[in-house]
Amino acid sequence: MANEYKDRITEYLSEHRKGIKLALFFVLVLAMLFKGVMQIPQIVSGKAEIARLQTQIEYEKERQQEISELKDKVNTDEYIEKIATEKLGLVKSNAKIFVDVSGEQQQ
Average pLDDT of the segment spanning 10-32:
89
DSSP summary character for residue 106: P
pLDDT above 90 covers what percent of the chain?
A: 42
Q: CA 94, 98, 99, 100: dihedral to nearest 10 degrees? A: -170
Q: Is the pLDDT score of 74 beyond 90? A: no
- pLDDT category of residue 105 using cuts at 50, 70 and 90: low
CA distance 38 to 30: 12
